[in-house]
Amino acid sequence: MSAMWFVLRRLARDRSALLGLALIALLVLCALAAPLLATHPEDVFELHPAERLKAPSAAHWLGTDRMGADVYSRLLFGARITIVIGIIAVGVSLLLGVPIGLVAGHYHGWLSDLLMRVSDIFLAVPQVVLAIAIAQTLGPSLPNVILALSVTYWPWFARVVYAETRALQKEVFVESTSALGASAWRLTVLHVLPNIASPIIVRASIGMGFTILTAAALGFLGLGPPPPTPEWGRTIAESREFLPHAWWYATAPGLAIFLTVMGFNLLGDGLRDVLDPRLRRSRTATDG
């Protein structure tokens, strides 16, 4: 646990990581407190055709959309969807990818090769395309989007865990524990697991950003949760026919996506700098 404090303290010195953390906190706040923060919470479901496509004003901070609904309020509720998709998709990918990576890294035979080839297959095609295929197959809905994203992101975790497990296998301490008679799996769970925590955490943070972008792309293509769900990507797609007049309609959700993903990326970078000193630049001797 002292390790965690160390990490948090180092992280606190990194201004961009703190900014990332702030942005993520903002996202979580918006999602959790949406009913409270929204000026027109009922607009998620109700229609006000008379008010459609109004510019930002005191009554509607970010204007209204084609249904007359308040863009700002729908954006806040959209944050809920974003978080849910991100957390569950990355969570499932992690739960799938980490064990697969561990098994592949632990064994050395055909099983290991097979698992890595399978993950290569998933990595061979851009995630977006595969996710589109899956989402289309199953139909546009929130659970399907999450499924599509989980199924296509797990290889990233598997790869990282595989590489780390293999690297750790070569380390002396693993050999000596083995010599002491610990069972192979006990070894893996107790010794390897804590050491792969860092790369997994970094990958999870970066994965959140990546997944949210892909989810938005799916929403944009009409493969996400159907209306009236205020998903950010879909909102952008809806807004297209009303440009250039209703610029707020397209700009606001895009900015929301941008800030969210940036938050996760900045945090991920900061975590990587703190947790993985091996990636740091080498230094030559400065004096002798």
Partner 1 sequence: MAELLAVRGLSVDFVTDRGPAQVLDGINLDVAPGEVVGLVGESGCGKTTLARAILGILPAGAARIRGGEVRFKGTDLLREDPRAVNDRVRGRAITFIPQDPFTSFSPVFPIGTQIMDLMKWKSPLVGSRRNAAGLFGRYPRERWRADRSSVLETLRAVQMPEPARTLRRLPHEFSGGQRQRLMIAMALLPRPELIIADEPTTALDVTIQAQILRLLRALVKERGVSVLFTTHDLGTAHEICDRVVVMYAGQEMEAARTDVFFARPAHPYTRRLLDSVPSPGGELRDIPGEVPSLVAPPTGCRFHPRCDYATAECRADRPALRGLGDGHGVRCHHPVDAGVDT
Partner 2 sequence: MRLLALLLRRLVWFVPTLVGLLAVTFVISRVIPADPVALVAGETATPAQVEALRHQLGFDRPLPVQFVDYVARLTRGDMGTSIFTRRPIVEDLAHRLPATIELTLVAMIVSVVVGIPLGVLSALWRNSVLDHALRVVTVSGLAIASFWLGIMLQLLFAMRLGWTPLNGRLQGFPPQSITGFYLVDAAVTSDWPIFGRALLHLALPAATLAFPALATLVRFTRAGVLDVMQSNFVLYERAMGLPRALIVWKYILRSALTSTVTQIGLLFGILLAGAVVTEAVFDWPGIGTYAVNSIVRSDYNAVMGFTVWAGAIFIVVNLLVDVAHTLVDPRERAT
Binding site for partner 1 (CB under 8 A): 285-288
- Tell me, residue by residue from 157 to 176, as one string, x for binding to partner 2 by CB under 8 A and - for no binding: --------------------
Shortest distance (Å) from residue 283 CB to partner 1:
10
Please give the structure tokens belonging to residue 234: 């879909």
284 binds partner 2 (CB under 8 A): yes
Q: Is residue 282 at the binding interface for partner 2, with CB under 8 A as the rule?
A: yes
Sole window of 29-37, 82-90, 174-182, 232-240 interacting with partner 2 (rule: CB under 8 A)? 232-240
Q: What share of the chain is helix, strand, coil (3-state, %, to 5)?
A: 75, 0, 25
The Cβ of residue 227 has, within 10 Å, a number of other Cβ atoms equal to 11
Element (H, E) at 57: none
Rounded to a whole number of angstroms, the minimum distance from the CB of residue 9 to partner 1 is 14
CA dihedral 79, 150, 123, 208 (to 10 degrees): 30
Our finding on whether 122 is near partner 2 (CB under 8 A) is yes
Taking residues 210 to 229 in sequence order and writing x for each that binds partner 2 by CB under 8 A, - otherwise, the string is ---x--xx--xxx-------
Q: Can you list the alpha helix ranges (DSSP code H) found in 221-246?
A: 232-239
286 binding partner (options partner 1, partner 2, none; Cβ < 5 to 8 Å by kind): partner 1
As a whole number of angstroms, the distance between CA 89 and CA 85 comes to 6
| Assigned token pair, 107 | 């064994």
251 touches partner 2 by CB under 8 A: yes
Tell me if 85 contacts partner 2 by CB under 8 A: no
- How many of the other CB atoms lie within 10 Å of CB of 28? 14
Instruction: Answer yes or no whether residue 262 interacts with partner 2 by CB under 8 A.
Output: yes
